[in-house]
Amino acid sequence: MTRALLIVDVQNDFTEGGALAVVGGDAVASGVAAFLTSKAGDYDVIVASRDWHDATGDNGGHFAENPDFIDTWPVHCVAGTDGAEYDPLLVTDAVTHHVRKGQGVPAYSMFEGVTDDGSAVAAVLAERGVLSADIVGIATDHCVRASALDTIAHGVHVRVLTDLVAGVGADSSAAALAELAHAGAELLPSSDA
């Protein structure tokens, strides 16, 4: 079975010290790096996404001076800034496809972005016959959730590696994981992957 690892938004602005820091973000970055050291060979495709917002404008209403932290957010992950770069604890040598999303518009799912050569994630997975994907990253209750739901919608079996995700809120993250399980995702620790 062709397998993919999808790494969602492990970026400086979402890890400790960033503009929208998630508690446990650095732990996810180092955990994913360690996982890749031992498990990268198990995957035919490894896709990593990043928010990559425009420096000017509000990115389709995504940025706000008084954000509600549901649909609007403080400025974060601006293209070309340190905040948009991968967390330095995440080693990306094994990544086969880098995806940028949110260029001028709100975007949560990595399926809303494109690879460096302009390919959609759905096309990358379909071209390689991916039938199963493990998902890790930040934030459980936003971009991980949206990416996992889109992966399922494209007919790919999803496993969320629960020790390699971190969310904005405990309750919203638990709700997101429950929603994903209801949609057909498996929830398991990376040691069982």
Active-site residue list: 9, 101, 143
- DSSP 3-state of 83: helix
Query: Distance between CA 7 and CA 25 in Å, rounded?
Result: 13
Strands (E), the chain: 2-8, 45-51, 97-101, 114-115, 130-138, 157-166, 186-188
Q: Which of 91, 87, 92, 102 shows the shortest CA–CA distance to 21?
A: 87
The pair of structure tokens assigned to 179 is 């929603």
Q: Is the Cβ–Cβ distance between 125 and 1 less than 8 Å?
A: no
Q: Which of 87, 114, 82 shows the shortest CA–CA distance to 98?
A: 114
